[in-house]
Structure 1
Amino acid sequence: MRRRRHIAKAITWRIIGTLDTFVLSWLITKEPLTAGWIAIVELITKTILYYFHERAWFASNLGIENRKKHIFKTISWRIIGTLDTLLLSWLITGQLKLGLLLSGFEIVTKMVLYYMHERVWFASNWGIIKPPKD
């Protein structure tokens, strides 16, 4: 598997995740500028975190790609992502309650979106190196 596949997955997921964060932040804070700051900072931190999460799962060799593995990847990523959202939104707004509210909603929306993202990439052969036939 090529690294650019992992990079492409990180970018496509981050676009989806950032839009979700922006919309939820705007709905919760009712301040588009604050929502924008949360989404922009998260874009940077989560892109880096997601890339390393993806590489770690690829290196783990925990069996073949299947629905069960995608569920475990979804859960492990959501733990990392939720902690990142909580810390960033708390730091940007200065309100722990807001950070807890936002990260709480994101647990649901992001797990559903991430699982769907994993399934779409699983169905794609882009960036996969196939061994030569003898």
Structure 2
Amino acid sequence: MVQHRRSLVKAVSYRLFATSVVFAIAFIFTGELGSSAKIGLSAAVAKTLLYYLWERLWTAIDWGTEPA
């Protein structure tokens, strides 16, 4: 059984990794640390919100689930 703490650490570490990748790509294109940080942070917040909304949408879809 996977502990909740492991799942939380996995999610947070993935978000940090993914944000770092976005930051690096933004830096390559802009050459500016401040702009790259804003892009990386904005992307992290937007992706987290979009993922939550996506999960809520899928919660409303019965396809592929079994009745309790």
1:103 matched residue in structure 2? none
Identity of aligned residues (%): 31
User: Which deviations, in whole Å up to 9, do the C-alpha atoms of 1:58-92 show, x marking residues without a partner?
Assistant: 3323326xxxxxxxxxxxxxxxxxxxxxxxxxxxx
TM-score by length of 2: 0.58
- 4+ residue runs over 3 A deviation: 8-14
1:70 matched residue in structure 2? none
Unpaired runs of 5+ residues, structure 1, are 65-130
TM-score by length of 1: 0.35
Counterpart-to-counterpart distance in 1, 2:11 and 2:59: 13
1:53 matched residue in structure 2? 54
Equivalences, count: 59
Return the offset for 1:17.
Answer: 2.8
The alignment yields a C-alpha RMSD, in angstroms, of: 2.9
Counterpart-to-counterpart distance in 2, 1:10 and 1:55: 18
Mark the CA change 1:39 to 1:50 in structure 2 (over 3 Å): closer, same or farther: same
Unpaired runs of 5+ residues, structure 2, are none
